[in-house]
């Protein structure tokens, strides 16, 4: 089991920046993939970015070039640096951890942090 706690959300003007943090309750060095997802009002949860234990990253097309995902295994924390924010980035952002144990995939979610981008 691992608990994930997001922080860093808030209200920002369009064009601004925020950095989200995801603190894990234990070492993330063995977590296969850490990720950020978001859910806007009335919409389904969608992938924002993922990073593997080897450092490979993947981004949604809508955030490429603006968002950067990273992980600090020593601090058991993953980050999402967001620049050039747009009103359409407004959503609750959730941290995700996927760990493969043998043939079983364990998935963990944080409770989310709200990002609001004003125009």
pLDDT in tens, 5-14: 999 999 999 9
- DSSP state, 73? G
Interatomic CA distance for residues 17 and 13, integer angstroms: 8
pLDDT in tens, 5-38: 999 999 999 999 999 999 999 888 888 999 999 9
Which run of H or of E encompasses 38? strand 33-39
What is the pLDDT averaged over residues 26-55? 94
64 burial level (CB within 10 Å; 0-12, 13-18, 19+) = exposed
Strand order, beta sheet including 4-7: 4-7, 18-24, 77-82, 67-72
In the predicted model, is pLDDT for residue 101 greater than 90? no
The pLDDT value recorded for residue 28 is 86
């Amino acid at each position: 089991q691992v608990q994930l706690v997001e922080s860093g959300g808030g209200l920002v003007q369009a064009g601004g920046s925020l950095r989200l943090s995801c603190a894990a309750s234990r070492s993330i060095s063995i977590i296969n993939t850490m990720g950020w997802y978001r859910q806007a009002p009335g919409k389904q949860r969608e992938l924002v970015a993922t990073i593997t234990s080897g450092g490979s990253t993947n981004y949604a097309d809508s955030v490429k070039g603006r968002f950067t995902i990273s992980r600090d295994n020593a601090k058991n924390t993953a980050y999402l640096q967001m620049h050039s924010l747009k009103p359409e980035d407004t959503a609750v952002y959730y941290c995700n951890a996927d760990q493969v144990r043998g043939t079983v995939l364990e998935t963990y979610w944080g409770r989310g942090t709200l990002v609001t981008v004003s125009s």
